[in-house]
Amino acid sequence: MPPVPAPPETARRDPAGAAPLGSHMLFRSSDLDEARERVAAVFCPHRLDRIGGGEMDARQHHLPGERLSLNYIQYGAKTLIAPGELERFYLVQIPLSGGAMIAHGAERYYSSPEAAAVLNPHLPTTMIWTEGTRQVLLQIDRRAMQDHLSAQIGAPAPRTLTFSGPLDLSRGAGAALKRLVLFLVAEADAGQAPIGAGLMGRAVEASLMSGLLDAHRHDHQAHLGRARAAPRPRHLRLAEGYIDAHLDQPLTLDDIAAEAGISPRALQLAFRQHRGTTPLGFWRDQRLARAHQDLVAGSGSVTEVALRWGFTHFGRFSEIYRSRYGLSPRDTLRAARGEGYHD
């Protein structure tokens, strides 16, 4: 009886099925050059370097659909990954363990199991994955994402869709999107085909794109809000116009209501119904967005920018800014000026 051949080294170390999308393995290797080449074949050419010690144990599992794909990637060792601009696709990186420092355009933040990285195709990216990081990645075709956005708006999107900062996975729509992605991974591991051809597969792909638009900050939220909401009543249009024209000035609820020709109570209800916030909350959010634009442009010091847009309590400004954009105002300004950033 001939001897039974020994199982390959990969199978002896850790069966593919032990990791998400295990039956869709593309490769597993301890060779850095092979890992770089194999991942680039699915994503894009990139720089991949091991940093310091740690054993290189790279693998990618890949489930393609029609307009997007589900992926699992690990490298084992701490790695520097620099793809530059992704060009053809958006990429949502959901860490299962470990995390990554993300430098994306002018933004700098840390991605973890509670905060996904959302990478735009038209902004340069550099990442450092910590040792032992394991991630599920949702890759979405750039044209498909833009077309889906246009369909939701009801008209061609006026510019390239740009997401901003880390995606909060701990609550709300972000947590729901993570659950959906991991459910689809589990379905694939159970032998199903959750994405791709067929009405159901295409509907699932559309749900993932809609989920991302709902869950994360981007520069078309106002267009989506107008498309999904009932036509704005005249008093709401007047109030928003007045707020936009006086962002750098102190306002009160009574001021805004008087300009809109409506009682303060009725104005509060209108903003709750159509904008999901209060008139003064809308005013604050608009000022915060302008402050972010100035910091990204390197227009003045943090103190100057805060005061320019009416934020006189600097600690509170830093707190709400970090909550919205995933980075402190100071580090945003450092990044804009090419001075680096800190953990």
H helices present in the chain, as ranges = 9-13, 32-42, 142-153, 172-189, 199-215, 221-228, 234-245, 253-260, 264-275, 279-296, 302-308, 314-325, 329-336
Lowest mean pLDDT among 41-45, 142-146, 150-154: 150-154
Q: How does the average pLDDT of the chain come out, rounded?
A: 87
Measure the CA–CA gap between 342 and 318, rounded to whole angstroms: 15
* 91 belongs to a structural domain: yes
% of the chain with per-residue pLDDT over 70:
89
* 118 belongs to a structural domain: yes
The sign of the CA dihedral 251, 254, 256, 259 is: negative
Closest CA to 253 of 214, 223, 241, 263: 263
Q: What is the mean pLDDT of residues 74-100?
A: 96
Measure the CA–CA gap between 308 and 302, rounded to whole angstroms: 10
- Using alpha carbons, list the distances in angstroms from residue 97 to 32, 116, 133: 21, 12, 5
Contact 59, 19 (CB under 8 A): yes
* 343 belongs to a structural domain: no
Q: Return the bridge partners of 134, or none.
A: 74, 97
Choose the final residue of a domain: 225, 242, 262.
Answer: 225
The sign of the CA dihedral 81, 83, 84, 85 is: negative
pLDDT at 340: 46
Tally the domains of the chain. 2
In this structure, are 19 and 137 located in the same domain?
A: yes
In this structure, are 177 and 108 located in the same domain?
A: yes
H helices present in 190-233, as ranges = 199-215, 221-228
Lowest mean pLDDT among 69-78, 146-155, 333-342: 333-342
CATH of the domain at 191: 2.60.120.10
CATH of the domain at 260: 1.10.10.60
* 2 belongs to a structural domain: no
Q: What is the mean pLDDT of residues 163-179?
A: 92
Whole-angstrom distance between the N-terminal and C-terminal Cα of the chain? 61
Indicate if the pLDDT at residue 15 is higher than 70.
Answer: no
Indicate if the pLDDT at residue 225 is higher than 50.
Answer: yes
**Does the predicted model carry a pTM greater than 0.75?**
no
In this structure, are 183 and 209 located in the same domain?
A: yes
In this structure, are 90 and 201 located in the same domain?
A: yes
Indicate if the pLDDT at residue 105 is higher than 70.
Answer: yes
Closest CA to 109 of 58, 52, 168, 180: 168
Domain that holds residue 271: 230-336
- Using alpha carbons, list the distances in angstroms from residue 144 to 78, 89, 148, 178, 210: 33, 9, 6, 20, 12
In this structure, are 177 and 76 located in the same domain?
A: yes
Instruction: Decide which of 293 and 13 is more confident.
Output: 293
pLDDT digits (tens, 9 = 90+) for 291-320: 888 887 778 899 999 999 989 888 899 888
In this structure, are 247 and 149 located in the same domain?
A: no
- Using alpha carbons, list the distances in angstroms from residue 76 to 55, 180, 221: 6, 26, 37
Indicate if the pLDDT at residue 323 is higher than 60.
Answer: yes
Choose the final residue of a domain: 166, 198, 225.
Answer: 225
pLDDT at 336: 67
Residue length, the chain? 343
Q: Tokens 């039956």 identify what position?
A: 23
* 4 belongs to a structural domain: no
